[in-house]
Amino acid sequence: MTPQQNFGWGRILRLGLVQAALGAVVVMTTSTLNRVMVVELALPALLPGLLVAIHYLVQVARPRMGYGSDLGQRRTPWIVGGMAVLASGGVAAAVATAWMGSHPAAGIALAVVAFLMIGLGVSASGTSLLVLLAKRVAPSRRAAAATVVWLMMIAGFAVTAGLAGRLLDPYTPWRLVQVSFGVSAIAFAMTLLALYRLEGDDAVPVGAAADAAPRTSFRDALAQVWAEPAARRFTLFIFVSMLAFSAQDLILEPFAGTVFGYTPGASTQLSGVQHGGVLVGMLLVAAAGSGLAGQRWGSLRAWTVGGCLASGVALMGLVRIGLSGEGTWLGLTVFLLGAANGAFSIAAIASMMRLAGEGRQAREGTRMGLWGGAQAVAFGLGGLVGTAASDLARWLVGTPAQAYAAVFALEALLFVGAALLAARVETEHAPAREVRNRSLDAASGVGMEAR
C-alpha cells in the first residue's frame, strides 16, 4: 500500500463542486418547497418547519455513516451513494409538495419519507466528504480549503435559488417537479464527474482498515471515540456554538422590523450585511491559516476562541442597541457579528479536519460523524429555541426590545461557554496522547484476540 498523497487545489475544487451540488439539492427542499407550501398551497408554516426538523433529526445517523466508511477506508462510494439518496429525496419532496394540492394527507406522508431520505443522504455524503478533506489536505491548507469548499456550497445555494426561481414562473405543480428533477439530476451528474478517480490508485483498498486497527462494532467504536477527551470536548463545543449560531438566524430580521421599523426589504438587506460579514471572516481565517504575507497569524484554536468571544461581544452590542432604541450602529454591529461567526466557524471546521485524524486509527469517519450529528441537532434546535425564547421573553417582560435583548444576551452567554470549551479541547499534551492511544489500541487488540 503506497502512502496517500495530499490533494492539490484542483482536487480540493472538485470536492467543492460536490459540496455545491449537495447545497443545490438542499436549498430546493428547505427554501423553495417551504415557500410553495406556505404561499401557493396556503398550508400552515409549521408543516415545512417540522419537515426541515425531520431532515436535521435523522442526521443523528451521521456517526453510523462515518463508521461505515471507516470499515472500507474509501469515501467515494459513500459520497456517491449519499448523493443518490439525497437527489432521490429531493425529487420525492417535490412530488409530495405537488401532491399536497389535491391530496394533502398522502402528500404529507410522502414528504415525511422524502425528508428522511434527504437527511440520510446529507449524512452519508457530507460526512465522508469532510473525512476525505481531513485525510488528504495538508495542514497548512486546511483553513483555506474549508473556506473554498464552503463558499462553493454557498454559491450552489445562490445559483440554484436564482435559476430555479426563474424557471418556476409561472408556477404549476408539474413545473415544480420538472425543475426539482433537473436540479437533482444535474447535481448527481456533477458529483459523479467531480469524484471520478479523485481518491486515485493510492487510496486505501477495501479491507485494509483491518490491518490498521482491530475491527469492532459500531457501538464499541463510538464508545472509544467518546472516551477520547479531545473528541468529547469538541463535540460539546460544536453543539453549544452551533446552537448559539443558529438561534440568532430566525430572530435577527424580526428584531430589526419590530424594534426599529425595518421594512421587509430593509431587513433582507440587513441579513445580506450579516452574510457579507461572514464572508469576510471566512476569508480572514483562510488567509491567516494559509500563511499569506509570509507568516501565520495565530493558531486555529485562537481563531476559534476569539471568534466565539467576538460573537458574544457583538450580540451584547445588539442588546445595548435594542434597549437604547438607537439603530445608528445596527448595520455595523450586524456586520461584525457576521465576521465573528465566519471566523469561528471556518477555524472550527479546519480544527475538525485536523482532530479527525488524531486518536485511534481508522476512526476518522466516526469522529466526523459524531461532530456532524451534534451540529445537525444543534441547528434543528436552534431555530426552535431562538423563536420560542423570544416569544416567552416577550410574554414575561412585555416589550419587544427587552424580549429580544434577553434572547441576544442568552446567545452571548452560549458563545462564551463555547469559547471556554474550545480553549479546553487540546489541553492534553500531544505526545502523551499518542502514547496513550497506542496503548489503548494494543489493549483492544489483545481483547479481540481473547474473544
Tens-place pLDDT, residues 377-413: 898 887 777 767 777 777 776 688 888 888 899 999 9
Q: What is the CATH number of domain 216-442?
A: 1.20.1250.20
How crowded is residue 399: how many other Cβ atoms within 10 Å of its Cβ? 13
Q: Distance (Å, rounded) from C-alpha 249 to C-alpha 255?
A: 11
pLDDT of 101-152, one tens digit each?
999 999 999 999 999 999 999 999 999 998 888 888 888 788 788 888 888 8
The answer to whether 32 touches 168, Cβ cutoff 8 Å, is yes
**Is 317:333 a contact under the CB 8 Å cutoff?**
yes
- Sign of the dihedral through C-alpha 250, 256, 261, 265: negative
Q: Can you tell me the distance from the alpha carbon of 425 to that of 233, in angstroms, rounded to the nearest whole number? A: 5
Residue pLDDT, tens place only, 332-341: 999 999 999 9
> Can you give the pLDDT at residue 213?
47
Task: Give the model's pLDDT for residue 176.
Answer: 92
Distance separating alpha carbons of residues 331 and 338, to the nearest angstrom: 11
The dihedral over CA atoms of 251, 34, 274, 378, expressed in degrees to the nearest 10, equals 70
Cβ–Cβ under 8 Å, residues 401 and 259: yes
- The size of the chain, in residues, is 451
135 three-class SS = helix
Give the up-direction half-sphere exposure of residue 392: CA atoms within 13 A in the CB hemisphere. Answer: 9
Q: For residues 55 and 191, is the Cβ–Cβ distance under 8 A?
A: no
Write out the residue limits of the CATH 1.20.1250.20 domain(s) in the chain. 1-199, 216-442
Q: Which amino acid is at 197?
A: R
Nearest to 25 by CA among 167, 143, 175, 186: 186
CB 13 within 8 A of CB 149: no
Cis amide leading into 44 (omega within 30): no
User: How far, in Å, CA of 285 to CA of 297, rounded?
Assistant: 9
DSSP 8-state symbol, 294: G
Question: Where does residue 451 rank: exposed (0-12), middle (13-18), buried (19+ CB within 10 A)?
Answer: exposed
Question: What is the grid cell recorded at 427?
Answer: 489541553
Residue 17: predicted pLDDT: 95
Domain 1-199 has CATH 3.40.50.880: no
Which pTM value belongs to this model? 0.79
Q: Which residues of the chain have pLDDT under 70?
A: 1-4, 200-215, 250, 264, 268, 289-298, 359, 362, 387, 397-398, 426-451
Residue with cell 442597541: 321
User: 158: which 3 cell numbers?
Assistant: 445562490
10 Å CB burial of residue 264 (0-12, 13-18, 19+) is exposed
Q: Is the dihedral of CA 153, 157, 158, 162 positive or negative?
A: positive
CA 191 to chain centre: 19
Assigned C-alpha cell, 436: 496513550
Please state at what angle helix 76-100 crosses helix 9-27, rounded to 10 degrees: 20
Return the C-alpha cell found at 334.
450586524
- Alpha helix (H) residue ranges in 205-329: 209-212, 218-226, 229-247, 249-260, 264-290, 300-324
Grid cell locating 76: 467515494
272's grid cell: 445580506
So what's the pLDDT on residue 427?
Answer: 47
What does the pLDDT read at residue 209?
45
Rg (CA), the chain: 22
